[in-house]
Amino acid sequence: MARALINIPAKAAKGQIIEIKTLVSHPMETGFRPDNQGKLIPRDIINRFECEIDGERIFAADLYPAMSANPFLTFTLLAERSGEVTFRWKDDRGEITEEKRKLVVE
């Protein structure tokens, strides 16, 4: 089960640029490593990250096997209006980790 840590200010001034930091728990198995029987462990990585505010996409990223375990992503947002920020990570097995945070812009 993936888990996530998100650092986003609860309040921001209109026009302010805020930094959002995310850390998600995931093994990011590359698909190139053999197990102790010599068989390749199937690839299982987070391949897509999306961030939306009230359904409007503000940031997205495609991830590849060179990413470390527990990928850390940070990006900025120009605060224009209040809303619910959704963070979504999708992995190779189709498992989706979703987290929501409220952002108040004054």
* Chain positions contacting other proteins, by CB under 8 A: 3, 5-7, 21-23, 25, 27-28, 68-70, 72
**For residues 39 and 78, is the Cβ–Cβ distance under 8 A?**
no
Q: Which is nearer to other proteins, 5 or 41 (CB)?
A: 5
Write down the least CB distance from residue 55 to other proteins, Å: 25
Backbone angles phi and psi of 105, in degrees to 5: -110, 125
User: Quick one: 25 or 82, whose CB is closer to other proteins?
Assistant: 25
Longest dimension (CA), the chain: 58
Q: Which two tokens stand for residue 63?
A: 């991830």
Pick the closer one to other proteins by CB: 5 or 104.
5
